[in-house]
Chain A
C-alpha cells in the first residue's frame, strides 16, 4: 500500500472530455450580439427596422420611414442594414453570419442588400438630388433644403440613439446572459463540462462520488479493492452521463430553454406593443395603401391636365397633388382617431420635392451663393441675390461677349487671365473696386483703388496680345469688387 496509487487514480477521474459539438460553442462576439436583445422579427425585408423598433419602443413604421428618408438623402443606410441583417439573430436565434443550418435565406437577403447598397453608392448622388438635377434646372434652392434635411436626419438618428440608450437600462430580462449570473456566457452555452474540467473543479454528476476509504493504516487491502471497484463503476456511469450531456441532450435542452425564453420575451414585447396600439392606434396598412394609390392617381391626373398648357411645370404640380392627397388622408386619419406618422413623413417628403421644384421654377435664372462662374462664348446674364461670385475671365474657351450681373449683396471676385481685354462698369458709385496686378510669373506688382466717376465705377484692361474683349456690367446697389489681373507687363 503506497500513497501514490490513489492520487494516480484520482487524476484519471476527470479526463479531458470530448469537445462538445460545434453547434453549441459560440464565440463571445455572437453571445454579446445576442445579449443586446435586438431580435429581427416582424420584418418587411430582413426585420432590422422591426428589431430597432421593438428594442427602442418606437413604432416600426416610423423607424422604417426614417431609414427610407435617410437612404433617399444619400446616407449609407443600406450598408448598415446589410451589416445588421448579417449579425442580428432572428426569432429562432439564427445569426446569418454564423452560416449554420437555416442561414441560407438570410445570407441571400444580405447579399441582395449589399448589391443594392453597391448600386446606390455607385450612383453617387442621393436619389432626391438626382431627381432635382434631372427634373429641375438650376438647383440653388436645393442646397438649402438638402442641408436642413441632413440636419433633420442626423437629429433623428441621434434621437433614436438616445432613446435606445435610455431604454437599455430599463430593458426586459433577456435570454443569453448566461445560465447563472456568475458563469460567463461561453460556459453557459458550451454545456459546462469542458469549462468545469478546465477550471479544475469537481465534475457535476447525478450520482455522488463514492467516498474513498482512509488510505492509511485504517483501511485494509480488501476495503481498498472494494472501493476501487465501486469507483470504477461510478466512473463508467459518470463518463456515460457526461457523454450523453455533451452528445446533445443537454445542448438540445439548452436550445429549447433559450427558445422558450425568446418566445416569452417576444410575447411580452408583443403584449406591450398591442397595448400601445390599443391606446394610440395607427392607421391601418389598408388605409395607407388606399392613400398611396389615390395619390398616384391624383398625381397622374394633374400631370395630364398640365400637359397641354404648362408642360414645363407639370411634374412639380403632380408631386404637389400627391402631397395634397396624403395631407387630406392625414386629416381623415386624425378624425378616425388614428395616428398618421407615416403619412406625415410621406407628405413632408412630397412637399419638399414639389415645393423645391416650384421655387426652382420661379427663380430659375438665379444662382446660389458662393459660385465660381467661367465666362461663356458670347453673352451671359447672371442673377445672384446674395453670396460671393467669382468670375474667371480669359479662360481657354471663352470668347468676346457681355456679362450682365444682377446682384443683391456680396463680394464679386474677378480673375483676369492673360490674353483678354476687359471692360468693367457698375451701375452704382457706392462701395469700392480694388485691382491687384500680377506679373506673368505670378509676382505681385501693385494694386489700385478705382475711383467712381459719373455715378459709377469703370475700369478697363488692355492686353496687346489679343483682340477678344469681355464686357462686365455689375448691377448692384453697394459694390465690393476685387479684380486680379495676371500676366501684366510693366
Chain B
C-alpha cells in the first residue's frame, strides 16, 4: 500500500451498511403503505400478536447478546483480513 492510501481516510463501510439497512427499512415501509390494503398485506401479524406471551419477551436478552457476539465476530474477521492484506507476505519455509 502506498503512503498516500495510508494517510488518506478510508471508505466508511459502517456508514454505507447502516445507510443501506435504513434505506431498506424506509423503502419497505413506503412499499407497505403504497399497497391498496396494507393491513390485509400483513394480516399474518395480527394473530401472531395475540399469540405473544409475556414470558417470551425475556428472549430479547439472549437474542441481543447473540447478535452482538455475531457482530463482534464479523468485525474481528474483517479486521484480520485487512491486517493480513496490509502486512507483507511472510516468507514460507522451504522456498
Contact = CB atoms under 8 A, between A and B. Distances in A.
A302 interface: yes
A333 to B, nearest CB: 6
Given A358-B33, A362-B45, A330 B53 contact: no
Nearest to A310: B33
Interface in B1-55: 8-16, 18-23, 25-27, 29-30, 32-34, 36, 38-39, 42, 45-46, 49-54
A309 B51 CA distance: 33
A409 B22 contact: no
B54 A334 contact: no
Interface residues of B, number: 35
B77 to A, nearest CB: 20
Given A337-B12, A338-B12, A386-B54, A320 B22 contact: no
A218 interface: no
Contacts of A324: 22-23, 26-27, 30
B89 to A, nearest CB: 27
A355 B12 contact: no
A366 B27 CA distance: 25
Q: Which of B11, B16, B33 gathers most chain A CB within 10 Å?
A: B33
Contacts of B39: 361-362
Given A279-B9, A321-B26, A340 B19 contact: yes
Given A279-B9, A339-B12, A362-B38, A327 B33 contact: no
Contacts of B36: 309
A327 B9 contact: no
Interface in A287-325: 302, 306, 309-310, 313, 316-317, 320-321, 323-324
A363 interface: yes
B29 A334 contact: no
A385 interface: yes
Given A329-B19, A334-B19, A340-B19, A406 B50 contact: yes
Given A334-B15, A339-B15, A316 B8 contact: no
Interface string A332-352: 011101111001100110110
Contacts of A317: 29-30, 33-34
Contacts of B29: 316-317, 320, 323, 351, 354-355, 358
Interface in A264-279: 278-279
Nearest to A331: B19
B38 A313 contact: yes
Contacts of B25: 323, 327, 351, 355
B1 to A, nearest CB: 15
B16 A334 contact: yes
A321 B29 CA distance: 9
A281 interface: yes
Interface in B44-81: 45-46, 49-54
Main secondary structure, interface of A, reads helix
A409 B50 CA distance: 7
Contacts of A354: 26, 29
Contacts of A310: 33-34
Contact of A334 (B13, B21, B33, B49): B13
Nearest to B43: A362
B18 A344 contact: yes
A10 B26 CA distance: 86
Contacts of B32: 358
Contacts of A358: 29, 32-33, 38
Nearest to A315: B33
Contacts of A362: 38-39, 42, 45
A331 B11 contact: no
A69 B33 CA distance: 26
Contact of B20 (A321, A331, A366, A407): A331
A445 to B, nearest CB: 33
A281 B54 CA distance: 46
Nearest to B34: A317
A19 interface: no
Nearest to B13: A334
A387 B50 CA distance: 11
A257 interface: no
A295 to B, nearest CB: 11
A57 interface: no
Contact of A385 (B14, B22, B50): B50
Contacts of B51: 408
Contacts of A183: none
9 contacts: A317-B33, A320-B30, A327-B23, A330-B22, A330-B23, A385-B49, A406-B50, A408-B52, A409-B53
Given A310-B33, A317-B34, A363-B49, 13 more contacts: A281-B9, A323-B25, A324-B30, A327-B26, A328-B19, A331-B16, A333-B19, A334-B14, A335-B12, A337-B12, A350-B26, A387-B54, A408-B51
